Amino acid sequence: MAACESARQLNRSLNLRGSLELHNFYDSQELTKALCPDIPVLLNRPHAARRAARYFVEQFPGKSLYAVKANPSPALLKLLFREGVTHYDVASIDEVRLVHSTLPDAVLCFMHPIKSEAVIREAYHDHGVRVFSLDSIEELEKIERATGGAEDLTLCVRIKVASEFAQISLASKFGVEVDQSVELLQRARQVADELGICFHVGSQAMTPLAYVHALERVRTAIVEASITVDIVNVGGGFPSIYPDMAPPSLNHYFSAIDRTFEDLPISYSAELWCEPGRALSAEYNSLIVKVEQRRGNELYINDGAYGTLFDAAHIGWRFPVQLLGDGSDHAASTEYSFYGPTCDDMDHMAGPFMLPADVKAGDYIEIGMLGAYGSAMRTKFNGYGSIDDYDVTDEPMASVYVGDNLDRTDRENVVSFPGA
């Protein structure tokens, strides 16, 4: 306790001089020992995000659009752009404004299928957006009116596909049924300078078959509408590694997508797009929380359901965890659940999260793989939500881009377009 108080006094002194922000740490252990933080700390791993970006740019056989909703951090957006991710999937006018102001040279693709005319008008006329998604005749007519009958539009018709292979379904809200898509595709073809078909197989798709089955639905839509398609956008869903969720190598996804895409009834010049969000950002962040109290196997921590751990509470997502400090070398043999800091019973993360048996109040826990949707979902409910952040240089708790999880054997004969 005395060591922590000394660290806090040092932190206050450094903060007054404005020099603490210049200090980077190797890992969470080093940071907690030095700072003894009283509020949650978000750890940034820029090297992990750079590695993910390079992988998609070099290995995916087409264009990668970063799905901004996964993590809208301006620092992350700039990092991805520097690594060659030049296209961004934006889903609201605030995301359009954010990316346009942060990256003026980025290509913005407005992939939300339902938008107001005012939003379409601003996106087109003020921010240079030319790519729009839609799934209805009504939306097509809105786009025509809001852009003044523009002739430089890229329109991506979203079709409905199954989410049976994904951990989180995205099948019910958007997308036109394939057997009802003929008129929309034909009318969009008349309006669009370039016409695309897009879909989303759901978040954390655990097998490449998800994309193969969806692309077969694209085939049916193209044949039934008898139209020429310039773009096929396979959306997001590319997985990361979590406890009890170890997907195949991303190369197997890319190979399956590439082979099926090449067999579609499309011209040789048609482009293949994807919209990775989780896969580009999950390894970018982890979180340090402090145990405020222990009651049996329930740990009361200082972040939770209304903060960075939204997914852990509301959809039961299990994240990797590790105890920091003197007891961190003990075996993780006990199942715990977490309660967050607010007064709400729903501020509960059931887990189970595996940690050593001797966790106690005052201990620190690192929760990994929170770069996707962690920061994006954080609120200030009940007055909580303050957080510090620092860069660290160690590896994330799990990675699809290193070691045995990185398997390029299926990619040898697939042409990539890193400069596209």
**61-111 pLDDT tens trace:** 999 999 999 999 999 999 999 999 999 999 999 999 999 999 999 999 999
Task: Pull the structure tokens for residue 160.
Answer: 């409905």
- What gap in Å lies between CA 127 and CA 118, rounded to an integer? 13
pLDDT per position as a tens digit, 239-286: 999 998 999 999 999 999 999 999 999 989 999 999 999 999 999 999
- Judged by DSSP in three states, 31 sits in helix
CATH (residue range 23-45+282-391): 2.40.37.10
Question: Which is nearest to 258 in space by CA: 197, 215, 320?
Answer: 215
Confidence of residue 163 (pLDDT cuts 50, 70, 90): confident
Q: H or E element: which one contains 293?
A: strand 285-295
User: Where are the domains positioned within the chain?
Assistant: 23-45+282-391, 46-281
Q: Where are the beta strands (DSSP E) in 68-224?
A: 87-90, 107-110, 131-134, 154-158, 166-168, 194-198, 203-205
Both tokens of residue 367?
């929760």
Q: Report yes or no: 308 and 269 within 8 Å, Cβ to Cβ.
A: no
Among 272, 349, 271, 269, CA closest to 309? 349
pLDDT digits (tens, 9 = 90+) for 356-383: 999 999 999 999 999 999 999 999 999 9
Residues listed for the chain? 420
Which two structure tokens, joined as six digits, stand for 324? 């920091």
Beta-carbon contacts of 89 under 8 Å, excluding residues fewer than 6 positions away, are: 65, 66, 67, 68, 69, 109, 111, 236, 275, 277
Burial of 226 (0-12, 13-18, 19+ CB in 10 A): exposed
pTM: 0.91
The CATH fold of domain 46-281? TIM Barrel (3.20.20)
